[in-house]
Each structure stands twice: as structure tokens, then as C-alpha cells.
Chain A
Amino acid sequence: MESRTTPESPLPVEDLQRQAVLDALSVQIAVLDASGRIVEVNESWRRFARENGADPGLEQGIGLSYLDACHFDGDDDPEGYGEKTQAGILAVLAGRQPAFSLEYPCHAPDQPRWFMVTVTSLGKGLDGAVVAHLDISPRVLAEQESRNRREEMARAARLNSVTVLAGSLVHELAQPLAAASLYSDSLATLARQQPLDSSRMLAAVDDLRTQVARAEAIVGGLRRFMRRGELRTEPRQLDKPIRDALELVMPLARRKSTRLEVTLPPIPIPVLINPLQIEQVMVNLLCNAIEAMDRFGSTERIVRVLVKSDTREARITVSDTGPGLSPVWADRIFEVFETENETGMGMGLAISRTIVEAHEGRLWAEVGTAGAVLHFTLPLHDVEDSR
């Protein structure tokens, strides 16, 4: 078949048009043949190679094996992005999957950058694939910015919760300090006795140490809760932040004559979370329940924490024996400036919901129940699925 050409180029018009379309795209594109060799690249690709000091061979790239180019030095690529991309390309070329995509960092010396690589089979009976690299830095930076802002808000809410907990924690701290003070006075007395009763002294030292450790645990819990939080999520067992929250709230519960009942399943529940923020959600829900019953003057004061999980998600339910939520309040409690008390727990609930939703979970209140019932869910983290 005869192809038309232009006066400036010996190439057929169709080829020129295709090249012009490719060059007009801001995405960096390389077209691979069945063996993974580069058969065509676009202007974005060439510009990126130029600007990032690649050797002239790679700038054109034609004839090079893309698979080899993916093979990074392990030290430069601890997360194995190169290896994953290589495997993805092979799978697409072999027809095992129609497409593959991966987001990866590729920071320039002067600015952080992220890209998304997509590999798409040419299809329609053609062997080979199209590899496209898209600069997703603005999106990733915006996400980081919103994480930063969320953590700032979360920290402000944590500090706010601390003002609610402070009195009971100081009270709690006075116990081991009082006991430690008496043990040290008793040791001084024992040291002056003749004959020396060293076993009694050592027993007192043990008791003293236990009390110091108890005080340290209280201070440690508070310090953990008040620190500037991490921004990233990590795979964790769900029971840990729940137990941490219970420990932090226990003194307040004791002070307000409230019993905390916890039902955790015997098997670990793996979740991908920011542990401090989930602890914060728990502290917020527990404090709300305790304070609501105290304000209402409930005679029976119990907060129940129930943790359940199915194959997809974990559900945490915090219920109390207080007055419950009227339908009017059930939604408004999540508004930032709505609060039933002076301690600003309304703000806490709004932020708790934001935190849970950032974890791809949901937080809601039940209406018309005898006591208040709040639930939140968190998706389970599949250990195999480490995207």
C-alpha cells in the first residue's frame, strides 16, 4: 500500500501525525515491543531525560531494553520500585494482565517529586506495551499538606483532651509518689537499725522501684499522647492503641466512679493506621461517655468497648449507660463548634470523624438507644497486599 509523505520528511503522514500526538502529551511515553525494547518515545520523555542528565543514548532510547533500565541499584531503591515495575511490564507483555500501575518517588536534588508509571498492553493483536510516566507531585504534595493539617488539628484536640485528663492523671501520679516517698523514709529507718535486716531492706527497695515504674508509666503515656504525631500510617495490631487509650483514661474513669468494660477478640486484628490518632479517637469517645454520665448524674456508670472484626473491617463500639443521644444531637455532635459541654469534646468528635475517614473508615452515632452508642470502623490490613 502506498503511503503519503510530506515535502519535509520521508516519513508517511500517519507516522508524523502519531508522533505529533505523542509529543503533544505531557506524560512521558515509551512504546515497547514484545521483548521489552523501546521502539518509540515522545518529546516529554526526551525532555525529562535531558533535564535529568541521562546519557544521550537513553534520551532517544530507541532499541534499549526498558527492562534493563528498570534495574536500579538496590541501595537507591530500598522499596524495590524498579523490581516491581519490571515484574509489572513482564506480566503485561506476556499477556498475564492487561495493565499495571505504580506510584513511586523520584526526587530531584532541589525538589521532591513523585511519579506514577502505567504500563498498558498495545492490545488489538499487537505485541508490546505503552509505558507512561506521569508527574503526580502536585497531588502527593497536596495529600501531604492535608495530612499535615489534619495532624495539626488532631494534636490541638489531643492537647485539649489532656486538659480533661490532667486532673485525674495528677491524682493518679500522687499514689505511686506517696508510696515511693514512704518506702524511701522506711529504708532510712531500716538502715539505722541494728542488726541490719537486709532482706527487709531489699524488699522495700523492690517495692520502691515498682512505684517509680508505675509513675513512669503514667508520665510516659501522657508524653506519648502529647507528642507531635507521625504523619504516616503503619501496619499495627488494633488492640495496642485501644489498650493505650484505656490506660490513659482509667484514672478519669476511677475519679468519676465509672467502670470500663472491654471485649477484645482473642485473635489479633491487623490494621494500617496512625496509632496515635486512633488512640486519640478512643480517648475522645471514652472521655465523652464518662463526662456525659457524670454531668447527667447517672447512678450506674459503665462504658463498654466492644471490638469485632469480619473479613473486611474491624468495628469498634463504645457504649455507655448515660442519657443517650437525642436524634437532634446525633448528627450535630460531629460539627466542629457544637458541644454539649465546656470541655470542647464536640471539636474532638469532629476531628475523630476526620481521622477515621482518613483511615477509610466510618464513625457514626446510634439514635434512640438507652445510652449513647458510637461506632467506628477501620479496614483490615491484608499483610499480603502491601501496595
Chain B
Amino acid sequence: MSDTPTVILLDDDPAMRRSVTLTLELAGYRVQAFASGEEMLARLDVAQPGCLVLDLRMPGMNGWEVQEALNARGCMLPVVFISAFGDIPGTVRALKAGAVDFLEKPFSAEALIARIEEALAVDRSRHEERTWRERMCRRRDDLTPREVDVMHFVTEGLSNKEIAAQLRISPRTVEKYRARVMEKMRADSVAELCQIASRLGDPDAGPHSR
């Protein structure tokens, strides 16, 4: 696995593979080309950064079947679809499944590169989001069940006193838990803690009340 983003190309037409590869390599991209969805699924490293360029209409697995298979494997790479005349039903389906964009054949190198830049930008921001989320989840996993409860009520806007009443502990103990939550989550303020919580979402929805 490398950190340089790769454009992963899937097209059954050898001339399309060659010409797209040449165009993208001249523009400075790293390209990995596959002739069939089956081959690509067998060999693709889904964790690498980059984007996918998929031909919609191919014998064997078509573009959206490949996209669905990749989604099922947790591949988050953004997809630029290459479509042609009369592919509108497929286009709608692929857009619903999360395609970033479409290019209708024939297209210019400029249009191709513009779509790929957008796709790579989406991948970068998704990647940043994922990294942040993993970091925050690790921090939250460090919290004891009690600390999780306290964090939940704090971010709901309850005062120490109210939390103390809810959990049937003293306000001073709440204060102690609260300081540890701030420290473990590395939040400088309650506002920041609230922001982290809302961005992270609350998977369990509710305190660990027993």
C-alpha cells in the first residue's frame, strides 16, 4: 500500500485502457488498469487512496455491479463512470449507488482530468474524515461506561447537578468524571466536546444505564 493516489481504471476495450492510461500518465497520475471486473475484484487493494474510473457497459460484470461489489467490501473509493449513448438507466442507478461523476464517450483529456481531480479531492476528504473518526473512536473507546454516560449528558447540555441527579451520584464526582472525559477526548472546551460528539454521532444512542 502506498500513499500516492492511484487512478484505477476498468475498461474491457484495450484501446480505451491504453489511451486513458497514456493520458493520465502524461498528466502525472499513477494508473492501474484492469480488463474485467472479476480481475479487478481479485487483485485490487481496496484500502489504497485514489479513485476508480469504471466503464459502465462491459461483458461479464458491468460497471455498477463492480461498484456494488466494491461497496459490499467496504471500498470507499470515489467512482467516475464512463458511459456512452443510451446508458441513461444505468447512469441513474450508478449515481444512486454513489458515483461521483459521469463522462460520456467520447471525451477530452481535459474533461477526464477534471473529473479525476474532483474524485481525488472527494477521496482525500473522505480519507481525512475516516482518520479523524478512527482517532476519536479510539479515544471514546478509552472511556469507562460511567465516563461515557457523563459525556452523553454533558453534550446534551445538562448541568453537573442535573447529571448528578440522573446518575444518583454527587456533583463533585460528576465534576471528576467530566474532567477525565475532557482529558481523554482532548477537548479544550465543552463546545468542542459537543462538536466531536455530534460529528461522531452516537452509535448506542443513550447512556449505559443499568
A binding-site residues for B, Cβ under 8 Å: 167, 170-171, 174-183, 185-186, 189-190, 204, 207, 210-211, 214, 254-255, 257
**B107 in complex: contacting residue of A167, A176, A181, A211, CB < 8 Å:** A181
8 A Cβ contacts from B48-83 to A = 57, 59, 82
Which of the candidate stretches B18-26, B127-135, B141-149, B172-180 sits at the interface with the other chain? B18-26
Give the docked Cα–Cα distance between A374 and B162 (Å).
Answer: 85
Q: Would you call B40 an interface residue if the criterion is a C-beta within 8 Å of the partner chain's C-beta atoms?
A: no
Q: Specify which chain A residues have a CB less than 8 angstroms from the CB of B86 in the assembled complex.
A: 167, 170-171
Which of the candidate stretches B108-116, B163-171, B182-190, B198-206 sits at the interface with the other chain? B108-116
Residues B109 and A186 in contact, CB atoms below 8 Å apart: yes
Q: Specify which chain A residues have a CB less than 8 angstroms from the CB of B57 in the assembled complex.
A: 171, 255
Nearest residue (CB) in B for A182 is B19
Q: Specify which chain B residues have a CB less than 8 angstroms from the CB of A175 in the assembled complex.
A: 13, 15-16, 84, 105
Residues A210 and B26 in contact, CB atoms below 8 Å apart: no
Residues A204 and B84 in contact, CB atoms below 8 Å apart: no
Give the number of chain B interface residues (Cβ < 8 Å).
23
Residues B59 and A182 in contact, CB atoms below 8 Å apart: no
The 4 lowest CB-CB distance pairs between A and B, nearest first, are A185-B109, A178-B106, A182-B19, A174-B105
Nearest residue (CB) in B for A258 is B59
Residues B109 and A189 in contact, CB atoms below 8 Å apart: yes
Q: Specify which chain B residues have a CB less than 8 angstroms from the CB of A255 in the assembled complex.
A: 57
Instruction: State the Cβ distance, B131 to closest chain A Cβ, in Å.
Output: 34
A-B contact pairs, 12 of them (CB 8 A): A174-B105, A175-B16, A179-B18, A181-B107, A182-B22, A182-B109, A186-B22, A186-B23, A186-B26, A189-B109, A190-B26, A207-B22
Q: Specify which chain B residues have a CB less than 8 angstroms from the CB of A204 in the assembled complex.
A: 22
Residues B15 and A211 in contact, CB atoms below 8 Å apart: yes
Instruction: State the Cβ distance, A189 to closest chain B Cβ, in Å.
Output: 5
Instruction: State the Cβ distance, B133 to closest chain A Cβ, in Å.
Output: 38
Q: Specify which chain A residues have a CB less than 8 angstroms from the CB of B108 in the assembled complex.
A: 181-182, 185
**A178 in complex: contacting residue of B22, B59, B105, CB < 8 Å:** B105
Give the docked Cα–Cα distance between A257 and B109 (Å).
Answer: 30
Instruction: State the Cβ distance, A210 to closest chain B Cβ, in Å.
Output: 7
Residues B105 and A177 in contact, CB atoms below 8 Å apart: yes
Give the docked Cα–Cα distance between A288 and B21 (Å).
Answer: 38
Nearest residue (CB) in A for B14 is A179
Q: With A186-B19, A255-B57 in contact, is A171–B110 under 8 Å at CB? A: no
Interface centre among B26, B82, B112 (most CB of A within 10 A): B26
Residues B84 and A181 in contact, CB atoms below 8 Å apart: no
Q: With A171-B57, A175-B105 in contact, is A185–B110 under 8 Å at CB? A: yes
Q: Specify which chain A residues have a CB less than 8 angstroms from the CB of B109 in the assembled complex.
A: 181-182, 185-186, 189
8 A Cβ contacts from B10-55 to A = 13, 15-16, 18-20, 22-23, 26-27
